[in-house]
Chain A
Amino acid sequence: MNNDSDNMIDMYLYETNSLLEQYEEIMLGAEKAKLFTTDDINEIFRIMHTIKGSSAMMEFDSLTKLAHRVEDLFFIFRNNNSTASLSEPMRKELFDLMFRINDFMRDEVAKIENGEPLSDNIGSFINDINSFIEKLNGNVSEGDSNGKTEKDSGVAAKKEDAAKKLDSDGKIEEYKAKSHFTIKIKFDDGCGMENLRAFMIVNSLTDSIGDKFSFYPEDVEGNPKTSNYIVDNGFFIFLNDEALIDKAVAVIKSSPSVASYEVMPNSDGVKKDSAADKKSTSASTSKSGTISAASSKTALKKKSSQQSSLMQKTKQSIISVNLSKLDSLMAIVGEIVITESMVTASPDLKGLKLDNFTKSARQLRKLTDELQDIAMSIRMVPISGVFNKMKRIVRDMGQNLHKDVRLTIIGEDTELDKTIVDSIGDPLMHIVRNSMDHGIEEDVNERTALGKDPQGEIILEAKHTGSDIIITITDDGAGVDTKKVLEKASRNGILTKPESEYTKKEILALLLVPGFSTNEVVTEYSGRGVGMDVVKQNIEKVGGVVTITSEVGQGTCVTLKIPLTLAIVDGMEVAVGQSIFTIPITNMRQSFKCTQKDIIVDSAGNEIVERMGDFYPIVRLHKLYNIDTDITEVEDGIFIWVEASDKSYCLFVDNLIGEQQVVVKPLPTYLNGFSIKNAGIAGCTILGDGNISIILDILNLHTASVSSL
């Protein structure tokens, strides 16, 4: 049971979070367009409605009430069919209110997640919404053209209610006459929100048996007053098909807070319908179709059935899985890959001619490859979730700092590993905040003077390059003033050499040093001296690299280069002395032998070799890494022509061992202090025989070799 309710909370959190995300996205879009489309309104209505329903079921009262009021608000919009009639300040107020509510709800949901008590302090929101609705009503009734006002509809609803109360008994009789069975449901005393509980039952019934039933009171969804009726008389469900009763009962049994239920055959109905009784199901569907058409003309009902059919569809094709299960799946796949090469490359098999074995081994290899691809693809999620969060940050900060900035998002469909997506959220937020706060100019005149668009722009872009994903955050703001950076750095005492010796690149790299913040004043958003160094740390944690480029007056570009996945790479094993290194296959272009006379030596003693009409520098791995080896003559060893982004060069190694898939293991945390990543080492891996091979980072290796000259 406990497990059950845990599951329910999990589902609730997952559902509510994604709904709130959806909600925020719609709000942002609508704010940009300065208009809610009918679809937007319906969608928000649906979201709030679902949140209300599920919160009521989980007994999170504050959320239920709040969602209910928001629903009311959007009900008005829906009746008016648009928010176009709103005046500018009203709209602004509306959006502010909506965003505040969204934040509040998110906070509450986070509290539920952490098992903290919910705050009941929703009075201010309710008041705000109420006063807004009042204003809105005043507004709308002034502009009489819209005709329908909330007050009117309220009055109408009341009248309807009264009318219904009068003929409620008659209605039941009418329903009974049309169907064969009645199920009467009573809820637990004092459980509250009976109408919503009833509606939840209706929803789950629709899921399990379709719409071949009707219920009374009909407007449980939209009319809280029906809960009184339900408390007094019960909630009635009318069914025609005997076969469906068991299913329906099962649904009702599993619904929370149901005190009792009663299945009663309707003798009248059977008599009346006896002729139609044995007819095909199509007849009964059409009948219930007419019933529902007659009973619920309201759009609400239609929407809900649409929604549930939609949910049914998604339910079938998507399941949510705990991430830790995927992690262990990935770990096992990794182990299988290693074990597979342990078996097929076993030293016991050396020199044996095993045709069948080789054939099966190849087959196995193919299958493990496939397994690995699938396991990997399961973990891939689009980066759009993270990017969309930035929209909100840009909006909020733009308003608070009075900067007009638009956010352009490119490549949001780019997929990468779930753990990586999770870990880049915070760094991205820091960078975007920095761009908003320090990057984009305070004064619009400053921008126009430079011939720039008065509206600032921040571009978020994600793209794949081979085994990496590149995320760039570009702003067209003031750029980084290198002089100021240097001044600040020397004041903070983080310079390691005389100021005059710093190159521009080095100065920009200072921004990533802990304890550096260019903004003189600490603001709400940035300037506490943490930020960019945290960004660097977080990105390095997932094996990524941060670089900053900037031109004064033109803007700043922060580039994050992150490996697509941390798990498995195809690598070429090479030997240098006693050590074994792995070069990612994606970086390799060619391996070749050559003789001393092919090598050109320049005046500084650098070795250069010609390949396909171009000249490439030679990096001797044993020299760079100070490894003892007997092979120092070019004729004895082998060259590997490697390439990473725009750098291309030839590595000199002792010999090739062979191609192998390796599972990347990060280097131990202890070693992070030695800036080992800058030395061209990306990580390490365990070979089939238990030895460790070091995985080279071809790009950083080049940098290391250049700086070691």
Chain B
Amino acid sequence: MPDESFETENENIETDSQNIEMQKYLTFMSNNLVYGIPIENVVEIITNHNITKLPRVPDYVKGIINLRGQIVPIIDMKQRISKECSEKTRGTCIIILNVNDISIGILVDAVSQVINIENKISAPPAKNHEFISGMTNLPDGTVMFCLNCELLVNQK
């Protein structure tokens, strides 16, 4: 990933925070970490969907689902980020995202809440976090990783 993208990302966020702009994030758990997605990218959250497997795709692509006539690909967040397969638990669900008119579902361990973030979002400390555009502290003290949806959709 090129360094410049982080810098520009950073500047944007700084100017944003000067105006104390509130941003809404949906937080979810994956691999015992808290992630956040900008709420405008979230379409809906679904559970218990029958995923049709696709042959010859990377392991993290779980397959496709039929969402009321629309075919949506599903990727496993945990596998995408940490290369570990997630096990199905009670809280497992799919968050349907719409990023630049591309629909995609992400399989996560559990969805937590929608929160307003006004804190300054800092750049991630290391560059090996793919798709992470920044980090921030939540009111309860946990750390949230901000997910960059564009990268998630575009990086293969």
Task: Give A671's nearest chain B residue, CB to CB.
Answer: B73
- Classify chain A: how many residues form its interface, as a range: 20 to 34
Segment from A133-141, A375-383, A684-692 that makes contact with B? A684-692
What are 23 A-B interface contacts by the 8 Å CB criterion? A578-B53, A579-B53, A579-B55, A667-B64, A667-B73, A670-B104, A671-B57, A671-B61, A671-B64, A671-B73, A673-B156, A674-B57, A674-B58, A676-B54, A679-B55, A684-B64, A684-B71, A686-B71, A690-B66, A692-B65, A694-B52, A694-B54, A694-B55
Task: Give A668's nearest chain B residue, CB to CB.
Answer: B73
Residues of B within 8 A of A114 (CB): none
In the bound complex, what is the Cα–Cα distance between A673 and B64 (angstroms)?
15
B positions within 8 Å CB-CB of A: 50, 52-58, 61, 64-66, 69, 71-73, 102-104, 153, 156
Residues of B within 8 A of A665 (CB): 71
- Within 8 Å by CB of A625, from B50, B52, B56, B58, lies B56
Interface assignment of A681: CB less than 8 Å from any CB of chain B: yes
Residues of B within 8 A of A690 (CB): 50, 66
- Within 8 Å by CB of B55, from A578, A625, A669, A693, lies A625
Interface assignment of A626: CB less than 8 Å from any CB of chain B: yes
- Within 8 Å by CB of A679, from B56, B61, B64, lies B56
Interface assignment of A624: CB less than 8 Å from any CB of chain B: yes
A574 to chain B minimum Cβ distance, whole angstroms, is 14
Task: Give B53's nearest chain A residue, CB to CB.
Answer: A579
Residues of B within 8 A of A669 (CB): 102
Task: Give B63's nearest chain A residue, CB to CB.
Answer: A692
B61 to chain A minimum Cβ distance, whole angstroms, is 7
- Within 8 Å by CB of B57, from A624, A676, A693, lies A676
A positions within 8 Å CB-CB of B: 578-579, 624-627, 665-671, 673-674, 676, 679, 681, 684, 686, 690-694, 704
B72 to chain A minimum Cβ distance, whole angstroms, is 6
In the bound complex, what is the Cα–Cα distance between A439 and B68 (angstroms)?
49
A360 to chain B minimum Cβ distance, whole angstroms, is 27
B55 to chain A minimum Cβ distance, whole angstroms, is 3
In the bound complex, what is the Cα–Cα distance between A704 and B48 (angstroms)?
33
- Within 8 Å by CB of B50, from A667, A670, A684, A691, lies A691
Residues of A within 8 A of B50 (CB): 690-691
In the bound complex, what is the Cα–Cα distance between A673 and B56 (angstroms)?
12
Residues of A within 8 A of B104 (CB): 668, 670
In the bound complex, what is the Cα–Cα distance between A674 and B56 (angstroms)?
8
In the bound complex, what is the Cα–Cα distance between A690 and B156 (angstroms)?
28
Residues of A within 8 A of B103 (CB): 668, 670
Given contacts A686-B69, A691-B50, contact A674 B156 (CB under 8 A): yes
Of B61, B65, B71, most buried by chain A (CB within 10 Å of CB) is: B71
In the bound complex, what is the Cα–Cα distance between A170 and B90 (angstroms)?
99
Residues of B within 8 A of A667 (CB): 64, 71, 73
